[in-house]
């Protein structure tokens, strides 16, 4: 992948409908990639700088319009991807766990986000209707 350092990649997620992949890295940034041609993935827009901690998880909403990014310091950030070339940060960071976010996923048909962390807790978050 042009512009990617695979040794710095920590996690990725696929959004099939739009043929995009999100990746997170040890530098604390997340990035969206166009994978219409899987042999030549291309970065879309600039990296999403969110926090000084390593990105541990990324997840798309079922429709691909939003991306949640989890970090090694227990924070999560939500990004609006309706303009892939210019993602917008929605609000500030949310403390979701004490320690690293190990797992994060959106429920496909209900307005719910689930996260798991180093603190050995699973948390469920209600999502505003305009997001999913």
User: Tell me: the pLDDT tens digits for 84-102?
Assistant: 889 999 888 888 899 999 9
For residue 44, tell me if it sits in a domain. Answer: yes
For residue 28, tell me if it sits in a domain. Answer: yes
Question: What's the rounded Cα separation, in Å, for the pair 112 and 118?
Answer: 20
User: Tell me: the pLDDT tens digits for 17-69?
Assistant: 678 899 988 888 999 999 888 888 899 988 998 777 899 999 998 888 889 99
Mean predicted confidence (pLDDT) in 107-117: 85
For residue 122, tell me if it sits in a domain. Answer: yes
For residue 131, tell me if it sits in a domain. Answer: no
Residue 6 banded pLDDT, cuts 50, 70, 90: very low
Q: Can you give the residue range of the structural domain that contains 33?
A: 6-126
Q: Is the Cβ–Cβ distance between 90 and 79 less than 8 Å? A: yes
For the record, the structure tokens of 96 come out as 């979701």
Q: Indicate which CATH number applies to the domain containing 32.
A: 2.130.10.10
For residue 119, tell me if it sits in a domain. Answer: yes
Closest CA to 13 of 36, 35, 39: 35
For residue 1, tell me if it sits in a domain. Answer: no
Question: What's the rounded Cα separation, in Å, for the pair 75 and 38?
Answer: 31
For residue 55, tell me if it sits in a domain. Answer: yes
For residue 132, tell me if it sits in a domain. Answer: no
User: Tell me: the pLDDT tens digits for 68-84?
Assistant: 999 999 999 999 999 98
Q: How many domains does the chain have?
A: 1
Residue 11 banded pLDDT, cuts 50, 70, 90: low
């Amino acid at each position: 992948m042009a512009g990617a350092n695979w040794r710095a990649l920590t996690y990725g997620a696929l959004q099939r409908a739009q043929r995009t992949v999100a990746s997170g890295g040890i530098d604390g940034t997340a990035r969206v990639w166009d994978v219409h041609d899987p042999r030549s993935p291309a970065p879309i827009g600039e990296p999403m700088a969110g926090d000084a901690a390593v990105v541990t998880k990324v997840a798309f909403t079922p429709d691909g319009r939003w991306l949640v990014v989890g970090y090694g310091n227990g924070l999560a950030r939500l990004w609006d991807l309706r303009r892939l070339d210019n993602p917008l940060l929605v609000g500030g960071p949310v403390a979701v766990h004490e320690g690293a976010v190990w797992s994060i996923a959106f429920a496909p048909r209900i307005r719910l986000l689930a996260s798991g962390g180093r603190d050995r807790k699973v948390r469920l978050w209600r999502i505003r209707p305009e997001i999913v």
